[in-house]
């Protein structure tokens, strides 16, 4: 299997989808130059400026125009550079894209993908570092994808582009250079299908996006201590693989949810509550969440690291559940 | 005005203008019936009548093809009907009944009829401007010769999408006609009190989009301006039409508009666009009885629509769960 970066995988997915379907086009700031992270590099040479389209710095119009263009039968891939900037276009995403199909009684679909890079990226500070996935999981009508690996970034982006409903597609900035095996050819992901990162019988650790890698590291350390952690990467938060999580926690009796985002009202709360409601009697320990404290992300590395969920914290939390 | 023996209006295309007169009457009667229904609590949500603004909707839309696109506002009944939507399906939607355009999920502010190119009323002021820009962008990408007309009010020019959408249309040379219906009020506040600078046309011109100003209560003036501008737009150049008018009712059917003097409103009723149109047609030789029959026909049609909507069933409960999105069935995961 070819090895490539998370960034290259997404570029390949977009290029393949644009070749397959002439109605797919990308629009956003600085796409002609390749995008902030290089995820569009070279595409303008193959597809031209109409389909790899540079937009003014008008987030509201980029997303609003994508809504109109999607209603007219094209399939826009919208680039927001940072999920923080997509907040300038929340009306267009939440009030327009997410609702149009429903409030117009099914007369239209809004098949757009909005790419919103999330997460901490060294010293990017409070307006370039947020993980806002829970906001969108809360909104009826939106699909939320949070790929953690190069393979998933290819497969899920393809699925997002083919989806007839609006997809909030959240790539993690820290993952762009991550290398991994990516299946060649037209492999299309499935929303709501988790990835079993590692099997284990002692504790279930559920995570998504970059935090999956922290959890995987923690699982290796836990194994050295004789604790077998089962690690689940949700891959998409709406829909999310409730069956996989219930099945796993049903076996292990212990659940730890790990997210980079602020823990308060985060998606981890949804997973925790869902499991607690259904598996109360099967639980051997209280459900546990790990996430950032409710403070903005800082600039200085030492302050930034203060909110980061580290491997040691995951190990300690999992150990605590097993020893409960 | 041409001089000579003939009536100044004899060069009118009478059949065209009779059809426009009829459409204006239909819009007026639809909204009168809707207001009556709102007063009777048959319409449950807010409705925003466009009484007094009918000439703009009709004058613009009668220059569009069926496959052309319009985007409307929260005050969108007139635009929607002028584009060819079905009055009964609209009335049913206002009543929240089965057979409404959105199956009772939208109401007045979310009426759409995609089959006639009406891509939606919108409950958020100015939000339709960006969507319209995108619809026009798609037309350009596909190499079609359709046009988009985006209606909005004078209140919308103070929201960001006005700037962003007009800039977008100019940058990408999109086939879009922006129609600003300047009725003087942003909800219940006089717009000029909230607007810096010289207003809508000046702002459009500042963004490089040529603007034309027209009397929005003169159907014939709107019709002529729209015909010319839509011709230009169809070749791929955005244009802006500022139509000055007046909202003869309150902001919503429940708004008695105490914020403006009765004398002002009474004076504005003397400039009713439907009466203006009737006067021109009469002077052109159309019998008053024929015009009265058209008005009566519109009244009868809308009374029937009202009665049929009132007698229509509520939507099936199951529809609450339909058309949310393809994945993640809300019935399975809500509880």
- Say if the Cβ atoms of A142 and B330 lie within 8 Å: no
Q: Is a pLDDT exceeding 70 seen at residue B6? A: no
Instruction: Tell me the Ramachandran region of residue B56: left when phi exceeds 0, alpha when psi lies from -120 to 50, beta otherwise.
Output: alpha
Distance from CA of B47 to the nearest CA of A (A): 16
Kindly state whether residues A175 and A59 are assigned to the same domain: yes
CA B92 to chain A, closest CA, distance in angstroms equals 13
- Whether B275 is covered by a domain: the verdict is yes
- Establish if B324 belongs to a structural domain: yes
Which tens digit of pLDDT belongs to each residue from A217-258? Answer: 999 999 999 999 999 999 999 999 999 999 999 999 999 999
- Model pLDDT for residues B67-83, shown as the tens digit of each residue: 999 999 999 999 999 99
Provide, rounded to the nearest whole percent, the portion of chain A with pLDDT above 90.
100
Q: What is the mean pLDDT of chain B?
A: 95
Contact across the interface for B328 and A105, Cβ inside 8 Å: no
Question: Which 265-324 residues of chain A touch chain B by CB within 8 A?
Answer: none
Q: Supply the mean pLDDT for chain A.
A: 97
Taking the CA of residue B226 and the nearest CA in chain A, the distance in Å comes to 22
Residue B3 has pLDDT above 50, yes or no: no
The shortest CB-CB distance from A58 to any of B100, B127, B164 is to B164
A283: region left, alpha or beta (phi > 0 left; psi from -120 to 50 alpha): beta
Residue A134 has pLDDT above 60, yes or no: yes
ipTM, two decimals = 0.95
Which ranges constitute the DSSP H helices of A5-143?
6-20, 43-47, 59-71, 90, 100-103, 133-137
DSSP label at residue A118: B
Rounded average pLDDT over A139-151: 98
Number of domains chain A is built from = 2
Query: Which residues in A lie closer than 8 A to residue B122 (C-beta atoms)?
Result: 96
Residue contact B324–A143, C-beta within 8 A:
no
Distance of residue A108 Cα from the nearest chain B Cα, in angstroms: 7
Check whether residue A49 and residue A145 sit in a common domain: yes
Position B1 confidence tier, pLDDT thresholds 50, 70, 90: very low
**A311 domain-assigned:** yes
Would you call B164 and A25 a contact, using CB atoms and an 8 Å cutoff?
Answer: no
CATH of the domain at A60: 3.40.50.970
Are A216 and A282 part of one and the same domain? yes
Q: Do B102 and A66 touch (CB under 8 A)?
A: no
Report how far residue A244's alpha carbon sits from residue A266's, in angstroms, rounded to the nearest whole number: 20
Instruction: Using pLDDT thresholds of 50, 70 and 90, give the confidence band for residue B328.
Output: confident
Residue A188 lies in a domain: no
Q: SS3 letters for B186-202?
A: ECCEEHHHHCCCCCHHH
- Is residue A68 less than 8 Å (CB to CB) from chain B? yes
Task: Indicate whether A35 and A118 sit together in one domain.
Answer: yes
Three-state SS letters, chain B = CCCCCCCCCCCCCHHHHHHHHHHHHHHHHHHHHHHHHHHCCCCCCCCCCCCCCHHHHHHHHCCCCCCCEEECCCCCHHHHHHCCCCHHHHHHHHHCCCCCCCCCCCCHHHCCEHHHCECCCCCCCCHHHHHHHHHHHHHHHHCCCCCEEEEEEHHHHHCHHHHHHHHHHHHHCCCEEEEEEECCEECCEEHHHHCCCCCHHHHHHHCCCCEEEEECCCHHHHHHHHHHHHHHHHCCCCEEEEEECCCCCCCCCCCCCCCCCHHHHHHHHCCCHHHHHHHHHHHCCCCHHHHHHHHHHHHHHHHHHHHHHHCCCCCCHHHHHCCCCCCCCHHHHCC
Give the count of Cβ contacts less than 8 A between chain A and B: 152
Dist CA B181 CA B293 (whole Å): 29
pLDDT at position B4 over 50: no
Rounded distance between C-alpha atoms, residue B205 and residue A143, angstroms: 40
Judgement on whether residues A99 and A200 belong to the same structural domain of the protein: no
Beta bridge partners of A196: A232
Domain that holds residue B252: 14-334
Domain for residue A201, yes or no? yes
pLDDT of residue B8: 47
Any domain includes B230: yes
Residue range A33-51, pLDDT digits in tens? 999 999 999 999 999 999 9
Q: Quick check: B9 pLDDT over 90?
A: no
pLDDT of A202 above 50: yes
| Residues sharing a CB contact under 8 Å with residue A27, sequence separation 6 or more, in sequence order | A53, A55, A62, A65, A66, A76, A77, A78, A79
Q: What is the pLDDT of residue B189?
A: 95
> In the listed set A151, A181, A211, which residue is the last one of a domain according to the structure?
A181
Q: Sort residue A296 into left (φ over 0), alpha (ψ -120 to 50) or beta.
A: beta
Residue range B277-289: mean pLDDT, rounded: 97
Beta carbons of A165 and B134 less than 8 Å apart = no
Q: Does A32 touch chain B (CB under 8 A)?
A: no
Answer yes or no: do A35 and A175 share one domain: yes
The answer on A79 and A29 residing in a single domain is yes
Q: Which of A32, A107, A166 to mutate to test the interface with B (most CBs of B within 10 A)?
A: A107
Determine whether A128 is an active site residue: yes
Percent of chain A scoring above 70 in pLDDT:
100
CB-based contact, A60 to chain B, within 8 Å = yes
Residue B9 lies inside a defined structural domain of this protein:
no
Predicted local confidence at residue B330, as pLDDT: 82
Q: What is the pLDDT of residue B239?
A: 98
- Are residue A80 and residue A204 in the same domain, yes or no? no
Number of domains in chain B: 1
Is the pLDDT at B333 greater than 70, yes or no?
no
Grade residue B10 by pLDDT with cuts at 50, 70 and 90.
Answer: low
Residue A114 and residue A19 share a domain: yes
- The answer to whether A137 and A190 have CB atoms below 8 angstroms apart is no
Q: Which of A152, A181, A210 is the last residue of a domain?
A: A181
Exposure b/e, B35-72, CB count within 10 A at least 16 = b: bebbeeebbeebbbbbbbbbbbbbbbbbbbeeebbbbb
pLDDT of residue B2: 39
Domain of residue A284, CATH code:
3.40.50.920
CATH number, domain with residue B75? 3.40.50.970
For the cut 90, the answer to whether the pLDDT of residue B93 exceeds it is: yes
Q: CB of A113 within 8 Å of any CB in chain B?
A: no
In this structure, the answer to whether residues A129 and A203 fall within a common structural domain is: no
> Containing domain of residue A10, as a range?
3-181
Residue A189 forms part of a structural domain: no
The pLDDT of residue B331 is: 79
Residue B306 lies in a domain: yes
């Amino acid at each position: 299997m070819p090895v490539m970066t998370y960034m290259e995988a997404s570029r390949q997915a977009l290029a393949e989808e644009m070749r397959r379907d002439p109605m797919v086009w990308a629009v956003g700031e600085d796409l002609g130059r390749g995008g902030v992270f290089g995820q569009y590099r070279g595409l303008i040479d193959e597809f031209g400026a109409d389909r790899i389209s540079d937009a003014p710095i008008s987030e509201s119009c980029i997303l609003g125009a994508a809504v109109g263009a999607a209603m007219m039968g094209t399939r826009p891939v919208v680039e927001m550079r940072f999920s923080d900037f997509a907040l300038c276009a929340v009306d267009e995403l939440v009030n327009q894209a997410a609702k149009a199909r429903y409030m117009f009684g099914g007369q239209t679909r809004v098949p757009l993908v909005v790419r919103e890079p999330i997460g901490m990226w060294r010293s990017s500070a409070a307006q370039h570092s947020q993980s806002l996935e829970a906001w969108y999981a809360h909104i009826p009508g939106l699909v939320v994808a949070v790929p953690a690996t190069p393979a998933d970034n290819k497969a899920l982006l393809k699925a997002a582009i083919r989806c007839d409903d609006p997809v909030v597609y959240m790539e993690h900035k820290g993952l762009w250079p991550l290398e991994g095996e990516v299946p060649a050819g037209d492999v299309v992901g499935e929303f709501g299908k988790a990835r079993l990162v590692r099997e284990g019988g002692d504790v279930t650790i559920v995570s998504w996006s970059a935090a999956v890698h922290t959890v995987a590291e923690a699982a290796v350390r836990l194994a050295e201590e004789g604790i077998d952690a089962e690690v689940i990467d949700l891959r998409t938060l709406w829909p999310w693989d409730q069956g996989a999580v219930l099945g796993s926690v049903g076996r292990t009796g212990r659940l730890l949810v790990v997210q980079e985002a602020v823990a308060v009202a985060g998606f981890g709360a949804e997973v925790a509550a869902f499991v607690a409601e259904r598996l109360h009697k099967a639980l051997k320990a209280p459900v546990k969440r790990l996430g950032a404290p409710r403070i903005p992300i800082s600039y200085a590395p030492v302050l930034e690291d203060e909110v980061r969920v580290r491997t040691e914290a995951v190990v300690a939390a999992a150990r605590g559940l097993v020893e409960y | 005005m041409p001089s000579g023996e003939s009536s100044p209006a004899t060069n009118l295309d009478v059949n065209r203008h009779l059809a426009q007169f009829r459409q204006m009457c239909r819009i007026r009667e639809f909204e009168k019936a809707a207001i009556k229904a709102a007063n009777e609590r048959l319409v449950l949500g807010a409705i925003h009548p466009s009484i007094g603004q009918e000439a703009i909707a009709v004058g613009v839309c009668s220059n569009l093809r069926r496959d052309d696109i319009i985007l409307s506002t929260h005050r969108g009944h007139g635009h929607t009907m002028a584009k060819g939507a079905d009055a009964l399906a609209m009335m049913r939607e206002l009543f929240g009944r089965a057979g409404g355009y959105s199956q009772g999920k939208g109401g007045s502010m979310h009426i759409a009829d995609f089959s006639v190119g009406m891509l939606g009323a919108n409950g958020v002021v100015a939000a339709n401007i960006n969507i319209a820009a995108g619809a026009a962008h798609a037309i350009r990408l596909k190499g079609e010769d359709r046009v988009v007309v985006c209606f909005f009010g004078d209140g919308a020019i103070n929201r960001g999408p006005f700037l962003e959408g007009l800039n977008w249309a100019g940058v990408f040379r999109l086939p879009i006609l922006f129609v600003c219906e300047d009725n003087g009020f942003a909800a219940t506040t006089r717009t000029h009190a909230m607007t810096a600078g010289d207003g809508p046309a000046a702002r459009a011109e500042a963004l490089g989009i040529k603007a034309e100003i027209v009397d929005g209560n003169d159907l014939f003036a709107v019709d002529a301006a729209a015909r010319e501008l839509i011709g230009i737009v169809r070749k791929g150049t955005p244009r802006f039409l500022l139509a000055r008018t007046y909202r003869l009712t309150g902001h919503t059917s429940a708004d008695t508009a105490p914020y403006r003097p009765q004398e002002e409103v009474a004076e504005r009723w003397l400039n009713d666009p439907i009466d203006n149109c009737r006067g021109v047609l009469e002077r052109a030789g159309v019998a008053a009885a024929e015009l009265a029959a058209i008005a009566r026909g519109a009244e009868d049609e809308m009374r029937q629509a009202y009665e049929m909507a009132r007698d229509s069933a509520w939507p099936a409960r199951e529809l609450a769960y339909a058309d949310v999105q393809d994945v993640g069935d809300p019935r399975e995961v809500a509880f």
